[in-house]
Chain A
Amino acid sequence: MTPEQRRKNKRVGIGFLVIVVALFAWTVGRQVMKIYFS
């Protein structure tokens, strides 16, 4: 694996990690809004 490929992998991997964290936060956040603020 070339260093360039390693960097590219890391970039795409972190992108997906952000999606995962956002989905988790969105699911909990949505329920908080629904149960406590509606």
Chain B
Amino acid sequence: MSSVTVDHVPGKAHDHSHDHEHAMPHGWRRWLFATNHKDIGTMYLIFSLVMLFEGGALALLLRTELFEPGLQFFQPELFNQFTTMHGLIMVFGAVMPAFVGFANWMIPLQIGASDMAFARMNNFSFWLLPVAAILLTASFFVPGGATAAGWTLYAPLTMQMGPGMDLAIFAVHIMGASSIMGAINIVVTILNMRAPGMTLMKMPMFCWTWLITAYLLIAVMPVLAAAITMVLTDRHFGTGFFNAAAGGDPVLYQHIFWFFGHPEVYIMILPAFGIVSAIVPAFARKRLFGYASMVYATASIAILSFIVWAHHMFTTGMPVTGQLYFMYATMLISIPTGVKVFNWVATMWRGSMTFETPMLFSVGFIFVFTIGGFTGLILSMAPIDIQVHDTYYVVAHFHYVLVAGSLFALFAGAYYWMPKWTGRMYDERLGKWHFWMSMISFNVTFFPMHFLGLAGMPRRYADYAAQFADFHMIATIGAFWFGLSQLIFVWVIVKSYSGKGEPAPAKPWEAAEGLEWTVPSPAPFHTFETPPVVK
């Protein structure tokens, strides 16, 4: 990021809470009618943590069944429901809302705005989410159970499901509406509400990555909403968009879904890049290497994400020319991604590095995410992808990107900004335990899945041949280890929020840059009511 110096920080004049006690509601009204970006950010973060544990519990149920070959605990129908709901909950309930929580908390603080542009819409965006989560979870208890069509909700499976499918469609509609409103809020906040002097090219990378992510959301969420609306009309209103018997085309659904689905992958990783781009310079005590190239790389990844969707569909029988186009276009993404990884490493090069928990998670992110990136490159090659399509190789790949990528960056960001949120330093010893336990157990869980996939183990199967038993057993042990490790994180949060850590100064990290460190810790209820002047 370009150097930001603040001429004066009028927000500081309003730091004393008694100045604004009249404007800070108390009790349940504070949360139900919340319009304050920090309160809404906190609610998003708590919601996503709850959903992370719900999705995680479903994952552990899957791993329990897969511990040994044969069916021990669940019938395949229920297993498929768990698989589907694990995916939907993690994508729409945990990862996306967590990043929106970070955006709510940090974007106004980083650009010197008093709040988000549409404070009431912000409240509505959040409160839609618990409704959707209840719908999704309740779908387990309707006749036929939850949808078992996979998180991609492919036709014709969606035609064969019970009412749980309709609940899932409504839930995804609601979460989509929430995401669209959140994205519009973020774009308008960044475009219209930056402090004087905070030019776009002076913004922290986190704001840049979120600005680009928000554009992606606005462009693709309506497409998903349209796709599942057509699924709904196919199911109940006599249309035949995706029904071959009625003149429709199930593969058409896949095209529409992945036109949303591939940008969605970047929606879940670009803000993670922004978080890591904030943390690495702070703990390497150097400026971010190649700020402008980071911005352009982020934009390039976003643009490319729109033109590669059919690499998820190499086995659907597209012409060779189509395969070649999608293969080469997909490979192109490795260039801007490589620029980013290079820049993070170059930032660390000859820096005065220390390895507090946020930095550990960030370096861990770079290391493990890169492995996920490489397996993505391998999967981009049509001849290989056709061999390992729908195998555990793919499962391993996207968990390296989504868990070690998105989730580790979320942990890094949580530790980095927790002093600003709570006013207390987190427990460094527990944080380091959390990192090492997560890092090791993550690899124990997911690395063997590469071998399973290469050996031909299909994904979404409740049972398997005896030859896969050893790797599955290791993966299950790793999964429980990983799940239990996350309890350390809860412990860290509870300690920090209950005021047990050391009081945090306004700027706990000596080399951290950005306006958020110019306000006290915890950040007062109202900040930057008079915008700071950025030079």
Contact surface of A with B, Cβ cutoff 8 Å: 1, 5, 8-9, 12-13, 16-17, 19-21, 23-24, 27-28, 31, 34-35
CB neighbours (8 Å) of B185 from chain A are 13
Q: Given the interface contacts A12-B191, A13-B184, A28-B229, does A21 sit within 8 Å of B240 by beta carbon?
A: no
Q: Are A35 and B188 in contact (CB under 8 A)?
A: no
Q: Are B188 and A16 in contact (CB under 8 A)?
A: yes
Q: Which 8 A-B pairs have the closest CB atoms?
A: A27-B226, A23-B222, A24-B222, A9-B117, A16-B184, A28-B226, A20-B222, A24-B226
Q: Given the interface contacts A1-B114, A21-B222, A27-B256, does A9 sit within 8 Å of B230 by beta carbon?
A: no
B131 contacts the other chain (CB 8 A): no
CB neighbours (8 Å) of A24 from chain B are 222-223, 225-226, 229
B151-193 CB mask vs A (1 if < 8 Å, else 0) is 0000000000000000000000000000010001101100111
CB neighbours (8 Å) of B114 from chain A are 1
B223-257 residues at the A interface, CB under 8 angstroms: 223, 225-227, 229-230, 240-241, 247-249, 252, 256
Nearest B residue (CB) for A8? B192
Nearest B residue (CB) for A9? B117
Q: Given the interface contacts A27-B223, A27-B256, does A35 sit within 8 Å of B117 by beta carbon?
A: no
Q: How far is the CA of A24 from the CA of B219 in the complex (A)?
A: 10
Q: How far is the CA of A6 from the CA of B219 in the complex (A)?
A: 24
Q: Inter-chain contact count A-B, CB under 8 Å?
A: 62
B218 contacts the other chain (CB 8 A): yes
Q: Are B118 and A31 in contact (CB under 8 A)?
A: no
Q: How far is the CA of A34 from the CA of B253 in the complex (A)?
A: 13
Q: Are A12 and B192 in contact (CB under 8 A)?
A: yes
Q: Are B241 and A27 in contact (CB under 8 A)?
A: no
CB neighbours (8 Å) of B230 from chain A are 28, 31
12 A–B contacts from the bound complex (CB under 8 Å): A1-B193, A13-B184, A13-B185, A16-B188, A20-B180, A20-B222, A24-B225, A28-B229, A28-B230, A31-B252, A35-B247, A35-B248
**Chain B: how many interface residues by the 8 Å CB criterion?**
29
Most buried by B among A8, A16, A21: A16
Contact surface of B with A, Cβ cutoff 8 Å: 114-115, 117-118, 180, 184-185, 187-188, 191-193, 218-219, 221-223, 225-227, 229-230, 240-241, 247-249, 252, 256
Least Cβ distance of B279 to chain A in Å? 30
Least Cβ distance of B338 to chain A in Å? 31
Nearest A residue (CB) for B115? A1
Nearest B residue (CB) for A1? B114
Q: Are A16 and B218 in contact (CB under 8 A)?
A: yes
CB neighbours (8 Å) of B227 from chain A are 27
CB neighbours (8 Å) of A20 from chain B are 180, 184, 218, 221-222
CB neighbours (8 Å) of A35 from chain B are 240-241, 247-249, 252
Q: How far is the CA of A13 from the CA of B193 in the complex (A)?
A: 13
Least Cβ distance of B103 to chain A in Å? 16
Q: How far is the CA of A24 from the CA of B7 in the complex (A)?
A: 45
Nearest B residue (CB) for A29? B226
Q: Are A12 and B188 in contact (CB under 8 A)?
A: yes
Q: Are A13 and B117 in contact (CB under 8 A)?
A: yes
Q: How far is the CA of A27 from the CA of B184 in the complex (A)?
A: 20
Least Cβ distance of A21 to chain B in Å? 7
CB neighbours (8 Å) of B193 from chain A are 1, 5, 9
Q: How far is the CA of A21 from the CA of B240 in the complex (A)?
A: 23
CB neighbours (8 Å) of A8 from chain B are 192
Least Cβ distance of A20 to chain B in Å? 5
Q: Given the interface contacts A23-B219, A35-B241, does A9 sit within 8 Å of B192 by beta carbon?
A: yes
**New contact pairs (4) apart from A16-B187, A31-B241, CB-CB < 8 Å:** A21-B222, A24-B223, A27-B227, A31-B252
Q: Are A23 and B188 in contact (CB under 8 A)?
A: no
